Structure 1
Amino acid sequence: MRKLIQPGTSASTVAPGHAAPHDSAVGHVTGRAAYIDDLPGPADMLQLAVGLSPHAHARITRLDLDEVRRQPGVVDVITAADIPGVNEVGAVYPGDPLLAEGKVRYAGQMVFAVLADTLDNARRAVPHAAIDYAPLDAALDPVASIAAGLTVLPEHVHERPLPAPALDRGATMASDTQTSGNAPAALAHAPHVLAGEQVIGGQEHFYLEGQIAQAEALDDDGLRILTSSQHPSEVQKLVAEVLGVSLNTIVAEVRRMGGGFGGKESQAAALGALAALAAQRSGRAVRFRLPRADDMQATGKRHGFHNRYRVGFDDSGRLTGADIELIGNCGHSPDLSEGVVDRAMFHADNAYYLGDARVTGHRAMTHTVSNTAFRGFGGPQGMMPIEAAMDDIARHLGLDPLDVRKRNLYDHERCETHYGQTVDQPLIGELIETLEASSDYRARRHAITAFNATSPVIRKGLALTPVKFGISFTAQHLNQAGALLAIYTDGSVLINHGGTEMGQGLHTKVCQVVARELGLPLERVRISATRTDKVPNTSPTAASSGADLNGMAAREAAITLRERLCEFAAGWLGVPGESLSLADEALIAGERRIGWHELIQQAYMARVPLSATGFYATPEIHYDRTTGRGRPFYYYAWGAAVSEVHVDTLTGEYRVARVDILHDVGDSLNPAIDRGQVEGGFVQGMGWLTSEELKWDEAGHLLTTGPATYKIPTCGDVPRDFRVQLLEGHPNSQATLYRSKAVGEPPLMLAISVWSALRDAIASLADYRISPRLDTPATPERVLTACRALHEAEPSTAPEPDGTTADAPLAK
């Protein structure tokens, strides 16, 4: 019955593949789109504020909150002792108490909460707390933590002595390893070997709408949580556990978020749980909004990484072996770090066949906020070592870095990853050839080299870097989605699904899918807020899989209703079902045309059910952690970018002059939205690698707590010449939603081309014979330090096998 009625394909239907506007676009630009803090609350609604720990690691020896309770407007003060269920909001594994109990593990940890009649009164009461701490030694360096055996593991935090990290010894240090072939032997016999090290900084999500939740009682003793969360089912679950109630008494609801980027995948649950606890205790509605400074201190960020690598290669620059070590700074608890470091390891090859390879990932525990999901989920950090190695090899051999990259790309012969998955659609070679030509790379490379030879101060850099990004949750069970579809008697359609909208256009794409399957114009289909009482047990909107999963679930629901209507119409009209189709708001039966409204009215009168559920689970994916082998991804998305930078070598200041991007989205569901995702993802990635610097003092206090000290890209930082194209003519080889590909995360890593271009410009100071070390973010200060190191290097000094020079060590 799946082919009984074909989906509508008429020009009047804004179906997938067309550039339909974002469903909330007008609301966004006019300010009419409502977020939680815009909603009018009940007249007696209360407000929450929290007291944060001033210490990175300490025992709480006295907690006296009597003076807080006496402050004007204060209704209640809540501590860990007041939690009726479990004091735990860990996303996957325990380790994240809702409120500190006996000990604090990072500066900024929530210790107590104040409930008051106004937000001002709640916040003004917080400083009146009398709390004594006994400071403990704090681990703040992830490399030192690994050396000391402080690792965040799935079960708990282990503290036991382990050997210091050493690539040549192959120490696993209670960590995961993926291997293909014999990496030590390949390196021992390689004609050339280079080694390198890099520090990759973290990143603050800096969404426009901060973390927020509102809880209010339902008339059946349940609670409704309005949450700005990418994972409403997790909010539902953790709220229920904190309150000690069953999940069916909690409804979590999300209409839209003012940005998420991963920061609202696991971190939003704590706000929902605390608001719910306060609402349960007070019997009144409660809103809990973190101010920006508190939000940045209390919630997790992109993991910083410390990476080390050794690569073996032949005279042409082709890799023969690689040994890559990734140390992720997880913070004080597991949170989502198991998966983040997993994905970093999966993407250590980026778009290259590594040969015999070993990739080791470590999860370091530090007494800082527990780091969490961020767009790319470890993939960007994992790609950085191999991209550095490509540049290093080119400088060592006197080659263009693009030629080295092209010689190592996956193709149809060299197509197995270091974790055993076959790359079944290696488009990257063709994609790069196309971009190389359209960006005029070779002529620009020649012109830039000539310019740098005569320019004493300003140096230009150019780089073309690829992206291969695996699409699926690396946790198999999360690759599922549900949807609920209803057709009303006036012919209007309402869809609800488990995905959440954070500005990425997911709801628009899902509505397009339903419209296509039912042969309707887009305006006939409306979407409602994501709610756990409509579609249960949902996965987070993450891993770039929002449209893949939820779009498929919505499509299944629409197909079910299409078939049901077909079956009814075939009997009603006395015609074969296979002769029927839906298009242009009508049932087409040969020469006969019956309007959509009439069809629905007749179906209703005949008691045909006009609602249906849909479900989808991604097929074929699996991974065996014990062997480090499997197929964790359903498919790969590809892309490449060419970036040109201009650097003032006397100050370290620079600008991105031009960017050319060609990105693979399969058969696009919505080219306008996909292009916007590519542009936005690139700029966000550029910010991560260039300007967004997180700084802590020696005691573990975050110093960058707002826009005055933390610099996200502005309109002025967007490349002046920004050319973005979507790859056409290459539908997904896997049976995805209309052969499309995900677009949420892969474009962020296109920004690695900016970092590589900066290294290219700096390398020109040593006639391209030394590959400079440039940790990220590559702020002007770091660029200037790298420039000075190469200025001081003797031009005739040959590179040593480790990638440095004998007389001039690379900038640290």
Structure 2
Amino acid sequence: MRKLPDTIVQPPASARGTAGSRIAHDSAWKHVSGQARYIDDLPEPPGLLHATVGQSTQAHARIKSMDLSAVRAYPGVVAVLTVDEVPGHTDIGPVFPGDPVLAGDLVEFIGQPLFAVAATSLRAARQAAKLAKVEYEPLEPVLTTKDALAKQFFVRPSHTQQRGDPDQALAAAPHRLQAEMHVGGQEHFYLEGQACLVEPTEDAGVFVHTSSQHPSEVQKLVAGVLGLPIHEVQVEVRRMGGGFGGKETQAAPLACIAGLLARHTGRPVKYRMARSDDMVQTGKRHDFYNTYDIGFDDEGMLQGADIMVAGRCGYSPDLSEAVVDRAMFHADNAYYLGQARVVGHRCKTHTVSNTAFRGFGGPQGMMIIERAMDDIARHRGLDPLDVRKRNLYGPGRDETHYGQIVEQHVLPELIEQLEASSDYRERRQAITGFNRRSPVVKRGLALTPVKFGISFTAKHLNQAGALVHVYTDGSIHLNHGGTEMGQGLFIKVAQVVATAFQVDIDRIKVSATRTDKVPNTSPTAASSSSDLNGMAALDACETIKARLVDFAVETYAVSADEVEFANNQVRVGKDRFGWADFVQQAYMARVSLSSSGFYATPKIHYDPETGRGRPFLYYANGAACSEVVVDTLTGEYRVIRTDILHDVGQSLNPEIDIGQIEGGFIQGMGWLTTEELMYSDKGQLMTTGPATYKIPAASDAPEDFRVALLAHSPNREATVFRSKAVGEPPLMLGISVWCALRDAVASLADYRYSPPFDSPATPEQVLRAVTATRQWLADNGGDSSCKSA
């Protein structure tokens, strides 16, 4: 890797579409015109077969027998495979073992794949799979996090982070509260479901078209199940119709099964899941059971904390170790906890293995401390915003419970700006008056911050590669290890290249992510893709530029300082050449115009044995102020207004970043309000489609929605052009809606009582909180001097 300068300063933009420009997503016109091609839009090759799997009907059982004769005899069926026909590895766990590609003699969740079917039509494959006769020996399932905690049933060992002596601090604190809460999971509900197309190649390998955030992992796992070296498998990802973490590990099983069937039959195989199968068979955001024990002074300042976060991981480890780790890292959110202990448990249950989801455990960890901020405020008769502001990290109170120092204190100023621009104080006063006059309809208001760590918590994933070709006509080909799922990564990295060479964005073409162009890539996740791939692309550009400068110095007898790239031109001393003309000159002089690039995130480290380190290069920050109106007779509510101020550093593309902030907020709001995953007492998922699982609609968005980027806030770390990540942090801004709903209910007791309030805050949940608040009022006789947690 060519060493990049420690301080990267963006040159003055003159070419069109360089970094910082508000230009459209590179595929926007294809999206709206229907010309963007997804896996199911690819031309079907001759002899194509369609795949599906037979699913377990038991949450936990041994398979006594499995008769597949009727499946094999169904018209159109070409192949039926069980785990016994797998030529290579049978375990496709992405990090730790525990995920069989097809079940053996044990099943551990309803929907687990038992066998694979390939048929000449998708209908035939699905109809045939239903004809299997499977005899089970049922075993007792563990279905809830609390049951798993009681039985100490974990997929990975528990973990503790601690600073100081929290037990002593809690005992000495003037005030002390305890609480517990359940934080619901979330279905990814991407527009494009899981899909892949696998074609056999002439050398016994396969070519995989997949809708995956992690093509290198797909490549490795497909090679493993087929018993092939990795170089025999090529994987391509042009785009996804949404991912949100649901295609980080969950796309690989489809590719492995399609690869097995393609290798067995010698024919191309497409595997596209129906929405209901997708929801049953693929993992979701982990639901959590969290508790706190906190001590604080009269002003609400935290002095000690003992926090527990327990994630329902499902039947296998998948990514749960890192998900629960990140929940632990974010159990403080934006607040200095004092002397603190945070314990994380990875609970095993006989349900589908939960997986990555935008925020990757961070949102679930933040929920318990945000509840605590409200509880402290109600207990002390304070405004929740004042309690939050007093507890923010700041100079002298800047060390997290895992030992990282918060170096850039953005939030105090950011919150002050949002407090003023949203008219928080005036609205708080008006809402309090309204609630006193309105016995049924109540309004709520909350302003909540977000501090989110940026980097993969698995250190080895913090690396990226890129490939840049400059052609003789001046056009530029760019390839990198990141994948495009609609978030605008491709256009952002293209803007980095345009800035490096100071040429128009139209000169740059970003090609599909392919494992034979940039190998050994990390997943597009953790909000790190612009940081990683942008820097890798810049590294490649700087290598090519250095060659061009050397050519100019040697050819025109000038110093390197006299060579400048600007406005689609190259200035060499007193001469100016068009970009394409200069590139042609360099080619004729046999200058290499192609380079790979590489970047590895510096400074990060973490020791799981001590629970201390610096797992993040920097923190992204933001805040949201949301107002809601609640009908306390029905539990129904609306979000009236949301104001957001978010810090993206020196934005690579403000238009894309604002879109990410808006979408992230709405998705976070949905997670905490309408999106409820329901299971039967047997472990069967009951919410398997849009009729029963409610994602936010356009009508659920705030009636008044204001989003702004924090001005003049370049990243102190040497990220690409001093930008900051924007993919995941905005999701947690949705916590402001949950807190506002709780605020509205608390007004029933004149803000003297914090009702129990799990998420998602469905109307039913709101009504339960209303009932609890009214019961508290009855028990306390409406005495305003009484206070309670």
TM-score by length of 2: 0.98
What is the deviation of 1:591? 3.1
User: Could you tell me which amino acid in structure 1 is paired with residue 606 of structure 2?
Assistant: Y
8 Å contact kept, 2:664–2:731: yes
CA positional deviation for 1:589:
1.9
Q: CA deviation at 1:424?
A: 0.3
Please provide the CA RMSD for this pair: 1.5
Residue 219 of structure 1, CA deviation: 2.7
Q: Which amino acid aligns with 1:146?
A: L
Q: Which residue pairs with 2:496 in the alignment?
A: 513
CA–CA distance in structure 2, aligned partners of residues 481 and 330 of structure 1: 28
Percent identity, aligned pairs only, is 61
In structure 2, the residue corresponding to 1:380 is in which secondary structure?
A: helix
> Which of 218, 221, 228 matches 1:238?
221
SS in structure 2 opposite 1:404? Answer: helix
Matched position secondary structure for 2:212: coil
1:108 lines up with 2:111 in the alignment: yes
- 2:133 aligns to what? 130
1:151 aligned partner, one-letter code: F
How far is the alpha carbon of 1:600 from its aligned partner? 1.3
- Report SS of the residue matched to 1:330: strand
Of the three residues 682, 691, 697, the one matched with 1:714 is 697
Q: Secondary structure at the match of 1:280?
A: helix
Cα deviation, 1:314-373, whole Å, max 9, x if unaligned, reads 000000000000111000000000000000000000000000000000010000000000
Is residue 56 of structure 1 aligned with residue 39 of structure 2? Answer: no
Structure 1 residue 36 corresponds to structure 2 residue 39: yes
Instruction: Give the deviation of 1:575 after TM superposition.
Output: 1.4
- Is 1:790 aligned to residue 773 of structure 2? yes
- 1:459-478 matches, cutoff 5 A: 459-478=442-461
Q: Where does residue 637 of structure 1 map in the other structure?
A: 620
For the Cα contact (< 8 Å) 1:50–1:113, is it kept in 2? yes
1:149 Cα deviation from its structure 2 partner: 1.6
> What amino acid is aligned across from residue 519 of structure 1 in structure 2?
Q
Letter in 1 for 2:179: G
Could you tell me how far apart the structure 1 residues matched to 2:128 and 2:705 are?
49
Q: CA deviation at 1:89?
A: 1.2
Residue of structure 1 in register with 2:303 after alignment: 320
Deviation at 1:2, TM superposition (A): 6.8
Q: After superposition, give the CA deviation of every residue in 1:705-764 in whole Å (9 maximum; x if it has no partner).
A: 000000000000010100000001111111111111000000000010000001100000
**Within-5 A mapping of 1:180-579:** 180-579=163-562
Partner of 1:165: none
Deviations 1:43-65 (A, max 9, x none): 21110011111110011111111
Q: Is the 8 A contact 1:13 1:516 kept in 2?
A: no
SS in 2 for 1:128: coil
5 Å-filtered alignment, 1:728-739, equals 728-739=711-722
Letter aligned with residue 227 of structure 2: G
1:163 alignment counterpart: none
Match runs of 1:72-111 below 5 Å = 72-111=75-114
- What is the one-letter code of the residue matched to 1:152? V
Letter of the structure 1 residue corresponding to residue 397 of structure 2: R
1:158 matched to which residue of 2?
none
Distance 1:489 1:415, change over 3 A: same
SS at match of 2:665: helix
Offset from partner CA, 1:52-95 (integer Å, 9 cap, x none): 11110011111111111111110000111110001111110000
TM-score by length of 1: 0.95
Letter in 2 for 1:330: C
1:748 maps to 2:731: yes
Whole-Å separation in 2 of the counterparts to 1:355 and 1:152 = 31
Q: 2-side partners of 1:491 and 1:88: how far apart?
A: 47
Contact 1:7/1:582, CA 8 A, preserved across alignment: no
C-alpha distance in 2 between matches for 1:674 and 1:510: 13
Asked if the contact 1:769–1:799 (Cα under 8 Å) also holds between the matched residues in 2, the reply is no
Between 278-287 and 211-220, report the one with greater CA deviation: 211-220
Q: Distance in 2 between matches of 1:95 and 1:12?
A: 52
The offset of 1:583, in angstroms, is 1.2
Kept in 2: contact 1:193–1:310 (CA 8 A): yes
1:84 is paired with a residue whose SS is coil
Q: CA deviation at 1:776?
A: 0.5
Q: Distance in 2 between matches of 1:25 and 1:795?
A: 57
Instruction: Give a deviation string over 1:457-514, Cα, whole Å, max 9, x none.
Output: 1000000000000000000000000000001111110000000000000000000000
Kept in 2, the 8 Å contact 1:766–1:795? The answer is: no
Give 2:745's match in structure 1, choosing from 758, 762, 766. 762
CA contact (8 A) 1:211 1:268 kept: yes
**Corresponding residue number in structure 2 for 1:775:** 758
Q: Contact 2:39 / 2:195 at 8 angstroms: preserved in 1?
A: yes
Distance of 1:217 and 1:574 partners within structure 2: 55
Distance 1:680 1:721 in 2: 15
What is the distance in 2 between the residues matched to 1:75 and 1:2? 55
**Amino acid aligned to 2:134:** I
Cα deviations across residues 184-224 of structure 1 (Å, max 9, x unaligned)? 10000100001111000100000000111111022333211
SS of the equivalent of 1:708 reads coil
Q: CA deviation at 1:6?
A: 9.7
In the alignment, structure 2 segments of 5+ residues that lack a partner are none
1:394-446 residue CA offsets vs partner (Å, 9 max, x unmatched): 00000000000010001122100000000000111111000000000000000
Quote the offset at 1:804 in angstroms: 8.8
Q: CA deviation at 1:795?
A: 6.2
1:346 partner amino acid? F
Stretches of structure 1 that go unaligned for 5 or more consecutive residues are: 154-173
Q: How far, CA to CA, are the matches of 1:796 and 1:294 in structure 2? A: 48
| CA positional deviation for 1:144 | 1.3
1:796 Cα deviation from its structure 2 partner: 7.8
**Superimposed CA distance per residue, residues 494-553 of structure 1 (whole angstroms, 9 cap, x where no aligned partner):** 000000000000000000000110111000001000000000000000000000000000
Q: Secondary structure at the match of 1:175?
A: strand
2: CA distance between counterparts of 1:761 and 1:585?
Answer: 57
Distance 2:155 2:787 in 1: 33
Query: For the residues of structure 2 that align with 1:426 and 1:19, how far apart are their CA atoms?
Result: 27
CA distance in structure 1 between the partners assigned to 2:320 and 2:535 by the alignment = 28
Q: CA deviation at 1:113?
A: 1.1
Aligned-pair distance for 1:607?
A: 1.1
